[in-house]
Structure 1
Amino acid sequence: MRILLAIVITAAVAWAGYWFIGSSALKSGIATWFDARRTEGWVADYSELSVQGFPNRFDTTLTDLQLADPASGMGWQAPFLQLMTLSYMPNHVIAVWPHEQRIVTPSGAYVLSSTDMRASLVVEASTALAPKRSTLTAEGLTLTPEAGTGAFSATSLRLAAERGEDAPDTDDPRYHLGLAAEGAAPPAPLLAQLDVASTLPRVIDTLSADITVDFTAPWDRYAIEEARPQPTRVDVTRMAANWGTMTLEASGILDVDAFGTPDGAITIKARNWRDILQLAEGAGALTPDAAAAAERALSLLANASDSDKTVEITLELEGGRVWLGPLPIAAAPVMRLR
């Protein structure tokens, strides 16, 4: 009995020692990271750092957070951030955000509000902390610009990412990405610009995406500290949106060069495509001349099909332009991450 008691006491003392050593190392590592960012010219501050959860958890809380990277113009502020892990599984992190955050971008500052926002992240057991898979969920999401009017909102948002096998030809890190949003609503001023006749519902029924992207480097801690990995190949398995009577689906593969210029083809299937063209023109994505030319070309395709309301086309992206057959209809997007 004494031997058993001694074993139990020894194990308890050893585990307590492991927890206190681990919690001290965790606090030291976070503080060192913030110090390194400040040395590089970042704004990187917090008012308090605590680790609790003895004996089975490392629950880390940082309060009054401020991060800003002057090189990219990106910044983030929050009253707190919680990072929770099991002490026997430290590479699986649960992150919980506050109900309100502030995000700064080169185009302006925004307030991000939510009723609940959290993420699950599993990272590789290395100092690079490269994510293996992650899932973010948000409920009651609202993104409001500090300058200007109107807010984007969504009832629910789900984002998922998983590291796959590297690209076979280039060895670029490959990630499988998923998006699902329900009850998404564009800002009221934008909706008024898009829908002059006021025929669209306020809420977009569903938005979804299933995409595989190859990047120049892994998305690990160095992606934040040094430079963002850039896409080299985008494989759109399916993107879809349902808004009122309009349905839009897309799939295709794009290769992206070092300047962010995509090259490839995207196949689009659209129901009530004339309404979609009007939206694109209202949003400024198409000039009036380009929209008129696209409508003439699509009318020919639609008349050849079973329904003049549904059309399936392939858009070619080449030379920095988007082509519908021989017609250049828009500038291709620049796919560069800041």
Structure 2
Amino acid sequence: MARVPHPTKKHPALTYQEPTLVKVGRYSLTTFLVLVVLSLLYVGAWFLTSMQLRSGLQDWFAARQANGYLAHYAEKSARISGFPFSVKATLQDVVFAPPKNEFAQHPWVWSPSELTFSITPLPWTIRTLNIDLSARQTFSINNQSYSGTAETALLSLDWMSKGLPDEINLSIQKLALAHKTLPQGVDIQKLSFTSARQSDGNYAFDLTGERATLPVGLRGLGQRLDDIILRGHLNENFAHDGISPSSLIKWRDAGGIMEAQRMHIQYGPLLLQGNGTMALDGDLQPVGAFSARIQGFFETVNSLQRAGVVRGPDASMAKVVLGMLAKQPQNGGPATISLPLTIQNRAFFAGPVQLIDLPILNW
């Protein structure tokens, strides 16, 4: 007779199931502890970033002062805020100007009443510094002062880059600076500038602007720039160590050039479209060669002649020589000239005709 196996009784420890309430409590506690640790790390990152931003701004202004710039702000009113979402540094009564020229004067002075610097202290945003430039400001040039505000004026850049920031983004909309007595002020309807350092060593840039009235302009053509588009790049790791005479010499000797892949300029009667390249000569002055398509050339030459920018014989030669290149559209409209433009020996040439002497650039 076969033996019937005795039924085994399972131990309670083997069949125990954790109550749902205990399980939820354990997960909640773990989640809470993780959030506490992350919060403490974030708070630490916020305070560390705030200290770095404060010291970075102080060092930047001190470095500019050491190089002859006029650069200061009201230190007693400077403040750090923005916790917990961002780190903000607010500077008031800022004054900034380049070193004095040969006349012992600053070429221009910019005085915003307030600048706000902000950083979001997260791993993927920590390198981006945002600067709000829209507060009331005064811009002085040629003994003339203009004051006003902008609807939008935001500058973003990679503040941890060495030398020229690896990324720059500037957006301005409806900037209006009025003069106390002159009817014409400084106005920019729209301006956008972006630049980024590429993996191949090129530094790409893109500038677009619409309906801008500038504080200075070319005599004869006025101060109104209706439209501008400039896109291209600078090669050979341009300004990787900053912009200085020594770095520019190093860049030039390495074969550095600026390639303008697209130019579009509507300035007074002049409409210019083209492309070309520019470099620096032995005296660090620009030299360049461009291929351009121009409308309004004769009107522009006449305006420059009346203003004394172009001499009478040069203007006459330009109109005679380049007039043979003009093409009149079959359906009417302004004549178009396709010709090379060159910059050499601190002069601007349209074809073989020298038009304008260029000022010396002092780096």
State the TM-score bracket (shorter-chain normalisation).
0.7 to 0.9
Q: For residue 14 of structure 1, what is the aligned residue in structure 2? A: 41
Contact in 2 for aligned 1:229/1:337 (Cα 8 Å) = no
Long gaps (5+) in structure 1: 168-173, 196-201
Give 1:212's match in structure 2, choosing from 230, 233, 245: 233
Where does residue 135 of structure 1 map in the other structure?
A: 169
Q: Cα offset for 1:332? A: 4.6
| In 1, Cα distance between equivalents of 2:64 and 2:270 | 47
Give the one of 7, 30, 35 matched to 2:57: 30
Q: Deviations over 1:83-132 (max 9, x none)?
A: 12111122112211134323456x55543644224334342745x36422
Instruction: State which of 296, 304, 325 in structure 2 corresponds to 1:272.
Output: 296
Distance 1:248 1:40, change over 3 A: closer
Pairwise CA distance, 1:194: 4.5
1:92 aligns with 2:114: no
Where do 5+ consecutive residues of structure 2 fail to align? 1-25
The alpha-carbon deviation at position 20 of structure 1 amounts to 2.1
- CA deviation string 1:313-335 (max 9, x = no partner): 1133333434445443333554x
Q: Percent identity?
A: 20
Per-residue CA shift, 1:224-271, capped at 9, x if unaligned? xx7796584232222223368753223221221142333342222112
Rg larger in structure: 2
Report what 2:110 is aligned to. 76
Distance 1:261 1:24, change over 3 A: closer
Residue 154 of structure 1, aligned match among 188, 195, 199: 188
Q: Normalization by structure 2: what TM-score?
A: 0.71
Deviation track 1:190-247 (CA, whole Å, cap 9, x = no partner) reads 799548xxxxxx9654222223235895267x54xx7796584232222223368753
The aligned runs of 1:209-288 (5 Å cut-off) are: 209-214=230-235, 218=239, 223=243, 230=248, 232=252, 233-242=257-266, 247-288=271-312
In 2: Cα distance, 1:26 partner to 1:190 partner: 37
Number of aligned positions between the proteins: 319
**What is the aligned counterpart of 1:314 among 334, 340, 344?**
340
Native 8 Å contact 1:194 1:282 kept in 2: no
CA distance in 1, matches of 2:306, 2:260: 26
SS across alignment from 2:326:
helix
Amino acid at match of 1:177: F
User: Within 5 A, what are the aligned runs for 1:169-208?
Assistant: 174-185=202-213, 194=221, 205-208=226-229
Q: CA RMSD in A?
A: 3.8
Deviation at 1:155, TM superposition (A): 1.5
Q: 1:175 to 1:146 in 2, by over 3 A?
A: farther
**Whole-Å separation in 2 of the counterparts to 1:333 and 1:254:** 16
Q: Which has the higher contact order (CA 8 A, sep 6+)?
A: 1
**Partner residue of 1:116 out of 151, 165, 172:** 151
Q: Deviations over 1:154-180 (max 9, x none)?
A: 32111222223566xxxxxx4322222
